[in-house]
Structure 1
Amino acid sequence: MASRQDIIELEKKFWQTMVDRDVDTATAMMADTAIVTGAQGAASIDTKTFAKMMKEGSWSLRSFKLDKLQVQFTNDDTAIIGYEVTEKLTVDGKPLELTAYDASVWTRVDGDWKCALHTESVKGDPFGRDRVKAAA
């Protein structure tokens, strides 16, 4: 059975693939089709589509830091991890730092852990009031 630390290390390894733009390792860590949710909506993404997104994105992740990690096992082959992440990125050529709250579901498939779901919510007021004030 995997430990809490094993799941944390899987999540960190996946984030590091984004820093390194290591498409092969990232797609090998994904389920054949994964669900991704965030500010742009929810989507089912296969590994080929994900690889294209990594290669063609107008962003780069320079570094990340995971904090306040929570890990829960629903059975021996499924784990859920949630945490706060601080990301240092370059988006459209400009530096950006943000804090978000993320969650992933890892499931064991033929002995290997695969990410089947990833969500991200940018830190802020849950009703968007902080964004409304900024737009006014």
Structure 2
Amino acid sequence: MQDNSHELFALEKKFWQSMVDTDTDTAIELLHEPAFMVSSHGSMKFDHAGYRKMAEQGTMVVKSFKLSEMEATFPSDGAAVLSYKVHQILSPRGKSEKVEQHMTDTSTWIRDGDAWRCVMHTEAPAPTAKGGDAGQR
């Protein structure tokens, strides 16, 4: 089985950068149709038009991000699951206030012809350390 970790890490970063740049077309090129997302807002299934609406009219926008501790596993030649931590800065659309978040994310990518496409993304708040300095940034 071929290890495409570096290629998929680059695609994941490209997707994140497309959100910062409000480059919805690039994001859509990287998404399977339909795709799923699970977050603190619940679970949703969306097509490309649904993603475009979220990206261009959603209440929050990504201003910056830093991905770390990226890992990949390949259950088959045509599927990969990425897991990583993200430090993201968000702002309400049209406002200057900023919200800082530390999250733990996963993305599931599948081979679609010659291209990899993201079919599933999850995010959850990163656990905070209790007592001691484990997990502090």
What TM-score, normalized to structure 1?
0.87
In structure 1, the partner of 2:77 is: 76
| 2:73 and 2:81 in contact (8 A); partners too | yes
Separation (CA, whole Å) in 2 of partners of 1:110 and 1:95: 39
SS of alignment partner, residue 21 of structure 1: coil
In structure 2, the partner of 1:53 is: 54
| 2:107 and 2:122 in contact (8 A); partners too | yes
Separation (CA, whole Å) in 2 of partners of 1:116 and 1:37: 12
Separation (CA, whole Å) in 2 of partners of 1:19 and 1:33: 22
Q: Are 1:5 and 2:2 an aligned pair?
A: no
In structure 2, the partner of 1:18 is: 19
In structure 2, the partner of 1:119 is: 122
Separation (CA, whole Å) in 1 of partners of 2:32 and 2:69: 25
Separation (CA, whole Å) in 2 of partners of 1:40 and 1:59: 12
What amino acid sits opposite 2:66 in the alignment?
Answer: K
The two structures, once aligned, show a CA RMSD in angstroms of 1.3
Separation (CA, whole Å) in 2 of partners of 1:36 and 1:58: 16
1:67-106 aligned within 5 A: 67-91=68-92, 93=95, 94-106=97-109
Question: Over residues 78-131 of structure 1, what are the superposed CA-to-partner deviations in whole Å (9 max), with x where a residue is unaligned?
Answer: 110000000011125221111000000000111111000000001246xxxxxx
| 2:5 and 2:72 in contact (8 A); partners too | yes
| 2:16 and 2:65 in contact (8 A); partners too | yes
What TM-score, normalized to structure 2?
0.86
Separation (CA, whole Å) in 2 of partners of 1:91 and 1:40: 16
**Shift of residue 58 of structure 1?**
2.1
Q: Provide the aligned length of Structure 1 versus Structure 2.
A: 125
Unaligned runs of 5+ in 1: 126-136
| 2:3 and 2:74 in contact (8 A); partners too | no
List structure 1 segments (4+ residues) > 4 angstroms apart after TM superposition. none
Of all paired residues, the percent bearing the same amino acid is 32
Separation (CA, whole Å) in 2 of partners of 1:22 and 1:105: 21
**Shift of residue 76 of structure 1?**
1.2
